[in-house]
Chain A
């Protein structure tokens, strides 16, 4: 399968614990994005990488959230000291350069669903 893959698909944790999600993008894509989606809402941008450089972070991203893409391939998103409000679907996506009209779409993974008890 050459799509975007995410792991784990589901995670249930107790408040205060740390969790880490992994994303493996499509191998030819240089951009990798993290989004968060809650019920009844569209995906909200969290952060994105161009190769290994983290170029933008949303104001939504508190300091409990950290993302890395150490070798410009897979990425991890860590949430420290989880809170119930962190419960959401965390979507990873990858793309070529978004501003190229012929290759502009994002390809999404199936998401990692987090439930914080």
Chain B
């Protein structure tokens, strides 16, 4: 059975701090790893990672995948209160359903 494990499960930081969120996975025939941000409602897409070692960036957010060690990290620099959300990691693999297997998420709270 495919597994996606995120850590930490929750995190509180001060505005301006840098945070690193972790996602490890155990799947057969890995295809891609995706990061989503979920505020109160629908998850919104952040990144899709398919190749090892290639950093994807969007503003203050960046992410990288290590297919040898089977993990990904999501970095947020100079955090703002608007970054407070649940960050979800998900994996697409041939072994599971033809869809995303999600981790439980990391709840990030950025205090002013």
Contact = CB atoms under 8 A, between A and B. Distances in A.
B104 A40 contact: yes
Contacts of B43: 43, 91, 108
Contacts of A104: 32, 34, 48, 92
Contact of A110 (B42, B45, B102): B42
Interface residues of B, number: 23
Contacts of B45: 105-107
Contacts of B92: 98-99, 104
Top 8 closest A-B pairs, CB basis?
Answer: A42-B102, A108-B42, A105-B45, A110-B41, A110-B42, A56-B97, A43-B102, A108-B43
Interface of A: 4, 33, 40-45, 48, 55-56, 58, 91, 98-99, 101, 104-111
Given A56-B97, A106-B100, 18 more contacts: A4-B42, A33-B99, A41-B105, A42-B4, A42-B90, A42-B104, A43-B88, A44-B102, A48-B98, A48-B99, A98-B98, A105-B48, A106-B34, A106-B45, A108-B43, A109-B42, A110-B41, A111-B41
29 contacts: A33-B99, A40-B104, A41-B104, A41-B105, A42-B88, A42-B90, A42-B102, A42-B105, A43-B88, A45-B97, A45-B100, A45-B101, A48-B97, A48-B98, A56-B98, A98-B31, A99-B31, A101-B32, A101-B50, A104-B32, A104-B48, A104-B92, A105-B45, A106-B99, A108-B42, A108-B43, A109-B42, A111-B41, A111-B42
